[in-house]
Amino acid sequence: NFKNLNLSNIIEQTIFEFSSEAHKKDISLIFLKPETEIPEILGDEEMLRVVFQNLIENAIKYENRNDKIFISLKYNLKNKEVEISIRDTGIGIKKEDQARIFDKFYRGGNAIKKDETGTGLGLFAAKNIIEHHKGKIWVESKVKSGTTFFIKLPIS
């Protein structure tokens, strides 16, 4: 169900939905908003909400108490893309796991140790949805220092 969307509003609302979850661990969710208005993107609102929910949920789940999570949204005029990142300072992901975390049902060993609940479907779904929007999603991470997920979505 593709429509023109204001991503900034959607991300802001998703952050708000997770505010009490974050509060329980004394985590701050900080939205680094675009400095200027960004163009609308053509996308499926429900599906993109699922992506942001899964990534923010993970960031909180695998973050340490008392830390900060930064969510940023930018417009890259030259490439006609929006760029989103979700950065935590939590448990991190081992190099050998990084290639597999987007697979169906895959859960990292340190994640299982930290939080026994989870199906390993969140990132699988996120990747599928982003690819249906002709976008890209990838991760950069270091064990015990944190993880950043990046998304790029084309404007048209």
Contact residues: Mg ion, CB under 5 A:
58, 122
- From 13-21, 45-53, 120-128, 130-138, span contacting ligand ATP (CB under 6 A): 120-128
Interaction of residue 107 with ligand ATP, rule CB under 6 A = yes
Dihedral sign, Cα of residue 16, residue 21, residue 24, residue 30: negative
Chain-centroid distance of CA 101 in Å reads 13
Interaction of residue 121 with ligand ATP, rule CB under 6 A = yes
Q: Which does 107 bind (CB under 5 to 8 A by kind): ligand ATP, Mg ion, none?
A: ligand ATP
- From 44-52, 72-80, 99-107, 130-138, span contacting ligand ATP (CB under 6 A): 99-107
Interaction of residue 120 with ligand ATP, rule CB under 6 A = yes
Residue ranges in 1-156 assigned as alpha helix (H): 7-17, 19-24, 45-61, 95-98, 109-114, 122-132
Summarize the chain as % helix, strand, coil (round to 5). 35, 30, 35
Residues forming contacts to ligand ATP in the complex (CB under 6 A) are: 54, 58-59, 62, 88, 90-93, 101, 106-108, 111, 118-124, 147
